[in-house]
Structure 1
Amino acid sequence: MNPVILKKVIVILLLLTAGVFLVRTYWIDLAPILGESLRILSEIRISYFILAFLVYLLSVYLFAVRWQQVLSCIGYDLKATDLVPVIFGGIFANNLTPASRAGGEPLRIFWVNKTYGISYTNAFVSILFERLVEAIPISMLLIYVLYSFPSLEIKFLPIKNSLTLSSTYLLLSVFLVAGVVIWIFREKLSSLLKSIDENWRQLHKSFIAVLLLSSAVWILDIIRLKLIALALNLPFSLHLIATVSILYLLLGSLPITPGGLGIVEGGLISVLLYFGLPLAQASSFVFLERFISFGLSGVIGFLYLFYYGGFKIWKNTKSH
């Protein structure tokens, strides 16, 4: 057996074993919580759930529009609808690979190369440009979360609306870690930045559009989470929803389990518990959110991959 496949099988078996052990050990405590979660889910307001799913589909379409805007600047005339299957295929790949976008981005690059003749370099640069611009609204959201997080508030500060001392330290730590990572990978990043610089005259034409679309996607993400909360009759504040949104991104980026399974759920539930939400309600919210962003999106991505022959392309990405 292939060593890589064997390693994945061993990890999955260990996770399943640990899960079975924990369930058996704490079944007496878990049974009432599971019963309460099922009751909450059975009383779901379907209209809000459908709206949340439609908002998710709209955000994926905006991802496609954003990528189409970048590609059009470097000479590729594609429709956003041409890229929607590629985006969903990438989402399915992300769900099966550790670390967010670890499998989806290479699949996107190979797919548009084989189907639309876009060079690997241009496809890669277009995606990298997207991510660099998207970092702007993500940073703004992160700053808002750090500012509004309750544990970071220091009572003796006279100006309540200013950044607290602890949040400032945490914010500086984030930038320090980012700086260290950039310095470590400076040689690789320099070549990437050079590629972007060579295409900047073309790429900068789409900067405003990409920034607005990236911001719209994150706004839609917050709206979707709010609709899920409304579907379960949960009173979520804006800063709590923003925290869940940014934490989802961070936890999904950890290269531990495929699609962040277990890591994302555990992290989100822990944060919701910290904010005072009962375990049954927190579990129900996370389950419903993952049912949309992981389950339904994965099914759609699988169907697109199957219909367009994306599985063969995905296999080629692994061989490279």
Structure 2
Amino acid sequence: MRIKITKSHIALFISILFILAILYYIGIDKIIKTLLNANPIYIIFAFILQLIVTLILAVRWRFITKILGYRSSLKNIFLLVLMGTFINNITPSMKSGGEAFRAYYLSKLENIPKGLAFSTVVVERVLDSAIFLFFTLFVIGYFIIIGFKYTEYLILSWAFLFLLTSVIIYLITNKKLLIKVVIRIAEFICKYTSYSYNKEIILKSIDDFYNSLKFLRNIKGKDAYTIIILSVVWYLVDIVKLWILFLSISYMVSILSVAAVYLLTLLSGVLSITPSGFGTADTVMIVSFTVFNIPPSVAAVVTILDRLISYIFPTILGYIAIMIIKKEIKS
């Protein structure tokens, strides 16, 4: 674990130096001047939109648990989403790692069987990945046409995410294989940690997981549309939040261009070894904006503001959420 943490810190340090080099190349004075002239009202609005994104994710998750027959507390769900964001932001790659913790603490706070709790986050992950892959496929096609020089990296990231999603779906549809994989992982974890290995509990959790998935597969009509709409809306609000940052520095840009860069930035973070894709995603965002004839200084300022609102702010709130959750569980 010490080796992994050291490597992560080294990668993060190198990424920070790389970002600073890019900012120096663009012109630190230009960037600072643009930042100082930013309209605080728009920035505050962007902060509010970040909270709305978190609320939408919480409402969707609560709706899924409601379909399973559990009336979860929206406050607890909201805190758990923040906690998941915090874990995602401090682990390599983007938007991965926090789901297992969210599911575990959901079962603790709301007395939902672990198998059922894990099935809800799996449904979220598969649905988000499917929508994301669908949208980014068109964006990558456009960048191939215009000859974007980082296209090969983006195609590799898309293929990796597609493969990962396919593997998850395959495991879900193959119970015997899933049991083997989970038991192997559990044995490995218990061998090097203080956790005790209990095969019966694992098998029961997997049974609960599959029973809930059977129920979720029967979701039709209004419920299915509600989940899909909420999944699309949170992406749209996140894109509008990034677009608002351009307005904060009085720069007009097409929201379609912002959407394309937003999706590519998320995609670029899939293969990143730094926390939340730090460095990799920022570089891709700045370079991608310049493809749409946006000045590098403007692209750099928007990227910095986006990191502040989408990374630092949720990370601080997520840490506070973890403290509240642990306190509630103890009490």
On whether the aligned pair clears a TM of 0.5, the verdict is yes
2:286 aligned residue (236, 260, 269): 269
- 2:255 maps to 238
CA contact 2:27–2:297 (8 Å) conserved in 1: yes
Distance 2:161 2:40 in 1: 43
- 1:317 maps to none
Distance 1:102 1:244 in 2: 20
- 1:318 maps to none
Q: Secondary structure at the match of 2:316?
A: helix
Distance 1:111 1:133 in 2: 21
CA contact 1:96–1:259 (8 Å) conserved in 2: yes
1:289 aligned residue (306, 311, 319): 306
Runs of 4+ that moved beyond 6 A: 310-313
Question: Could you give the per-residue CA deviations for residues 191-227 of structure 1, whole angstroms, max 9, x where no partner exists?
Answer: 3796665223564473211101111111111211111
Between 243-252 and 220-229, the greater mean CA deviation after superposition: 243-252
Give how far 1:102 is off.
Answer: 2.8
Between 104-113 and 302-311, the greater mean CA deviation after superposition: 302-311
CA contact 2:57–2:81 (8 Å) conserved in 1: yes
Give how far 1:91 is off.
Answer: 0.4
CA contact 1:130–1:210 (8 Å) conserved in 2: no
Distance 1:50 1:204 in 2: 39
Q: Does 1:152 align with 2:151?
A: no
Question: Could you give the per-residue CA deviations for residues 107-148 of structure 1, whole angstroms, max 9, x where no partner exists?
Answer: 10111112111222111111121233334543443244245x
- 1:40 maps to 34
TM-score by length of 2: 0.76
Give how far 1:267 is off.
Answer: 1.3
Please list, as runs of the form range in 1=range in 2, the aligned pairs for 1:277-316 lying within 5 A after superposition: 277-309=294-326
Question: Could you give the per-residue CA deviations for residues 240-272 of structure 1, whole angstroms, max 9, x where no partner exists?
Answer: 111122123212322411111111111111211
Give how far 1:302 is off.
Answer: 1.0
CA contact 1:74–1:203 (8 Å) conserved in 2: no
2:73 aligned residue (75, 79, 88): 79
1:12 aligned residue (9, 25, 28): 9
- 1:178 maps to 162
- 2:276 maps to 259
2:236 aligned residue (215, 219, 226): 219
- 1:125 maps to 119
Distance 1:32 1:306 in 2: 40
Distance 2:19 2:39 in 1: 32
CA contact 1:89–1:301 (8 Å) conserved in 2: yes
- 1:60 maps to 54
RMSD: 3.5
Distance 2:68 2:210 in 1: 16
- 2:103 maps to 109
Q: Secondary structure at the match of 1:199?
A: helix
Question: Structure 1 pair 151/183, CA: closer, same or farther in 2 (3 Å)?
Answer: closer
The one-letter amino acid paired with 2:139 is V
Between 190-199 and 215-224, the greater mean CA deviation after superposition: 190-199
Question: Could you give the per-residue CA deviations for residues 32-78 of structure 1, whole angstroms, max 9, x where no partner exists?
Answer: 71111011010011111111111111111010000011001111111
Q: What are the ranges of 5 or more consecutive residues in structure 1 without an aligned counterpart?
A: 155-166, 314-320
Question: Structure 1 pair 226/72, CA: closer, same or farther in 2 (3 Å)?
Answer: same
Distance 1:197 1:46 in 2: 46
Q: What are the ranges of 5 or more consecutive residues in structure 2 without an aligned counterpart?
A: 179-208
TM-score by length of 1: 0.78
The one-letter amino acid paired with 1:198 is K
- 1:99 maps to 93
Give how far 1:151 is off.
Answer: 5.1
2:216 aligned residue (179, 183, 200): 200
Q: Secondary structure at the match of 1:309?
A: helix
Identity within the alignment, %: 22
Q: Secondary structure at the match of 1:257?
A: coil
